[in-house]
Structures are given as C-alpha cells and as structure tokens.
Structure 1
Amino acid sequence: MNPVLTFSPLLIVALVSACAESGANYAPILDGEPTAAYARDLRACQTLAANQRQFDRQTAGSAALGAGVGALAGMADDDVSESEGIAAGLVVGALVGTAAGASEASDRREAIVVECLRGRGHRVVG
C-alpha cells in the first residue's frame, strides 16, 4: 500500500483536531479598558464558541466534498494510472477541503466570541 495513502487520513484527522478550538480562543480588541467582568465574560464566550460542534461536522463535510472533487480530477489525469490519479486527487482534495472548512469554522467561532461579548455590554471593536 502506498505510504501516502496510509499517512494522509492521519494527517487529515490531525488537521481537523488542531483546528477544532481555533477561533474559540480569540481575544478581541476592546474600545477602552476592560471591565472587572471582562475576563469572566471572555472565558464564557470562548467556551460558548468552542462548544459549537456543528462547525466540526461542516469541516468534515468540506473534507469529503474536496475528496470527491479531487478523486474526479485525479481520474482525468492522463499522466498517471487511473487508481494513482484517483488516490492522489482524493488525498489532495480532502486536505484542501479540510483546510477551507477549518478556516471557515475558525472565523465563525471568532464571530461568536465578538457577538457574545457585545451582548454582555463590552465595547468590542474587532
């Protein structure tokens, strides 16, 4: 078995796991000094953002979609055998889909932290 095909699923899982908390740890810029309650509210808002697991499912969906598109593109590659093209396309597509999904999930989690803090009365500018 091709070592790339064995290693790639592990790389994808590691990438998704590493990005799972990304964005939830965001500490936004405030307009003015933080209030006494800011640290407590920040932790609560970060926890709220981290608990949004639907973003992790969407990232997995992006990986699957990327793998499918990559496999189709690999089938069309005339420079390699069909099975090698499919395998390479599958891996590259999954990695690209995972990265795109993880980036979007991180952005959404950051937005949750910002909106949560604003909802608690903190003057967040970004």
Structure 2
Amino acid sequence: MKFKFLAPVLAALLAACADSGANHVPILDGPPTAAFQGDLAACQGLARSQRQFDHETAGAVVLGAGAGALLGAADDHGDAAGGAIAGGLAAGVAGAVNAGERREAIVVECLQGRGHRVVG
C-alpha cells in the first residue's frame, strides 16, 4: 500500500506535539520573583497533565477523514483512502495546534493566578 509510510510520520508528528504549549515560558512585566521558577514548573506540569487529544479532536479527525474520503472519491482518480488519510491527518494536526494553544493559556493563567505579572 502506498500509504504505509504515513504511520511513522504520524507517530513522529504526534510525539513532537506531545508537550506543545506546556513548555511555554511567558513574558513578564518586570523582573521575576523568587517564586517564579517554582511556580512556572508547577503551572507547566498542570498544563502538561491536560489531555492532548480530547473528544472534540477525535470528532474532528473522524469528520476530516469522512470529508476527505468523499472528496477523494469524487476526484477523477477515485482515491477515497488517500483523501480520508489526508483529511484525518489535517484535522488531527489542527486539533493538536488547538490543544497546544490551550496548554499555553493554562500556563499563563496559572501564573497570573499566583500573582505573577504575565503579559504573554
């Protein structure tokens, strides 16, 4: 099958996104306090503990694969499997980016909640 190379590529992509957003080191308005490094590590740990792929991402992958299969089947070459893989992969990547952004926001809000002057 011509798509057998996609499994290792997808696995590498998911591994690269595993800590996405959780390692965010925000910009502070002023010098860091003595407690900043400890609080940063705790907030990053909290963000890292959040699930990378939730039900919303899984649903997007299924819908992306379905849409890709339909578009692939409608193509002159009729490649529904390739369309499904491409659609599912695109939706999975978009979900990973969204999860990374949520994790980054968790780090920022957690530090702000601990009294640090985080601006981004």
**TM-score, normalisation: structure 1:** 0.86
- 1:56 equivalent to 2:53? Answer yes
| C-alpha deviation, 1:60, in angstroms | 4.0
SS in structure 2 at match of 1:6: coil
Q: 2:31 aligns with which of 30, 33, 38?
A: 33
Aligned amino acid, residue 115 of structure 2: G
Q: Distance in 2 between matches of 1:63 and 1:7?
A: 19
| C-alpha deviation, 1:16, in angstroms | 1.9
Partner of 1:103: 97
Q: Which moved more, 1:110-119 or 1:96-105?
A: 96-105
Partner of 1:70: 68
Extract unaligned runs of 5+ from structure 1: none
| C-alpha deviation, 1:56, in angstroms | 1.8
Do the aligned partners of 1:12 and 1:94 also contact (CA within 8 Å) in 2? no
SS in structure 2 at match of 1:30: coil
| C-alpha deviation, 1:41, in angstroms | 0.3
**TM-score, normalisation: structure 2:** 0.90
SS in structure 1 at match of 2:5: helix
Aligned amino acid, residue 14 of structure 2: V
Partner of 2:118: 124
SS in structure 2 at match of 1:56: coil
Partner of 2:7: 9
Q: Distance in 2 between matches of 1:117 and 1:64?
A: 35
Extract unaligned runs of 5+ from structure 2: none
Q: 1:68 to 1:60 in 2, by over 3 A?
A: same
Aligned amino acid, residue 86 of structure 1: A
